[in-house]
Amino acid sequence: MSLTSTRETSHAGVASEAAARLMHRCKLLARCTEKPGEILRTFLSPAVDDVHRAIRPWMEAAGMSVAVDRVGNLRGLYPAEGGENTPRLLIGSHLDTVPNAGAYDGVLGVLMGLALVEASGERRYPFAIEVLGFSDEEGTRFGAPFLGSRAVVGELEGGLLECVDAGGVSVAQALRSYAAQRPETVAATLSDKSAAYVEFHIEQGPVLESRNLALGIVEGLAGQSRCSVEFRGQAGHAGTNPMKLRKDALAGAAEWMMGVEAIARRFENGVATVGQIAAEPGGVNVIPGVVRCSLDVRHAEDGVRCAIVRAIFEEAHAVAARRGLQAEVAQYHEHPAVRLDAGLVGLTERAAGQSGYATIRMTSGAGHDAMVIAPRVPSAMVFLRSPGGISHHPDESVAEADVAAAVHMGLIFLDEFTTYARGKD
């Protein structure tokens, strides 16, 4: 038996044990909630404290030192063999949830970091491993996402601190009282030794399942445009206005929506969604005079995304002109696409290949903490297949065998990262 295949056999055995433990832990952590009967954990809530209390002894038993920082991020550090002045590999995801969440979104990525440290046995690497459990990614409490990861890259400032929750408490006030009650919290910053960030996350979509693959290699996160489109026609009596004399704003919006679908399909991997629609005056016997629609457009290439938005806006004007309506279009929010680090993405891909798993490269249509970290620290992401594509729902799941695949590839990644980190010096 060759050295490599001996290594792979032992990694595979360790990985399946680690996967069973990880699945059990996800179920345990699902009990930490602020709403009985469903999973809900919001920024700085006692339910997140409960998660910290559960994970801390697991981390300590694995030889990690554990701290919570001033924005409520859990941080476990597994020291390097070479002392303090060594690079640091960050592995993380988030511990907060949406309302009525599943048990794996976010939590899985944090526990993957811990599982990789545990599965390394007593072995130390020439780099430290820091496992990060971000306190807020979903934005459930304040309506603003990524508060945990934005804090560690120095972007939790300005208007973000003024966002308020349902009780009228601002982010700044919440942070002040959180830190005041916890003098032991540490600074919410990243070490300047941070050499790479890796995030494992359930896919939350159906692509890997449709391709019969356990793992996907994320090479970028899609940019996003949020727009509003309004059609104005003439409200009127549903009985007295002949069809050819009408200016029905809702019929115009419907025709435009068919166009939205057709336009998005013309651009490879483009997605466009009209998720909200409101018609006025909203009577069963009244022709709609005004219709307001939302529009969400995403693509991995910002230029393509902008082209899709332009085409959709032109379609709105064209439909309006044909029907004697007026159309008003506006983009009110935009987030550029994020490319992950080519070298690190290649490394995760090779590690998956060496562990015997075929993968595809993917763009994440959803936002993740990697999106915030990537501009500061070279980052990579690995998706695990989501059965049924279901997520943000209590039925969200992941197969234990797929978790074992992720741990297996993660252990090879750690082996290979040693050389990679040296090459970067």
- In the complex, least distance from residue 30 CB atom to Zn ion, rounded to whole angstroms: 14
Question: How many residues contact Zn ion, by CB under 5 A?
Answer: 2
Q: Which stretch binds Zn ion (CB under 5 A): 83-91, 98-106, 227-235, 331-339?
A: 98-106
In terms of phi and psi (left: phi > 0; alpha: psi -120 to 50; beta: otherwise), the region of 158 is left
Structure tokens at 282: 């909203």
Q: Give the range of 68-76, 101-109, 161-169, 405-413 binding Zn ion by CB under 5 A.
A: 101-109
Of 1-9, 15-23, 99-107, 112-120, the segment contacting Zn ion by CB under 5 A is 99-107
The residue range among 11-19, 59-67, 72-80, 105-113 that interacts with Zn ion, by the rule CB under 5 A, is 105-113
Please choose, out of 9-17, 29-37, 97-105, 148-156, the segment that lies near Zn ion by the rule CB under 5 A. 97-105
Nearer to Zn ion, 130 or 136 (CB): 136
Nearer to Zn ion, 253 or 384 (CB): 384
What are the C-alpha distances in Å from 414 to residues 203, 291, 362, 411, 421? 22, 54, 22, 5, 10
Query: Which residue, 74 or 316, has its beta carbon nearer to Zn ion?
Result: 74
Spatial CA neighbour of 380 closest among 354, 414, 356, 408: 414
Residue 133 contacts Zn ion per CB under 5 A: no
Amino acid at 374: A
Asked whether 109 and 201 are in contact (CB, 8 A), the reply is yes
Q: How many CB atoms lie within 10 A of CB 239?
A: 6
109 binds Zn ion (CB under 5 A): no
Burial degree of 334 (CB within 10 A; 0-12, 13-18, 19+): middle
Of 41 and 247, which has the nearer Cβ to Zn ion?
41
Of 105, 136, 199, 301, the one binding Zn ion by CB under 5 A = 105
The closest alpha carbon to 176, from 71, 254, 19, belongs to 71
**Least distance in angstroms from the C-beta of 368 to Zn ion:** 6
CA distance 19 to 208: 19
User: Is 396 near Zn ion (CB under 5 A)?
Assistant: no
106 touching Zn ion, by CB under 5 A: yes
- Residues in touch with Zn ion (CB under 5 A): 105-106
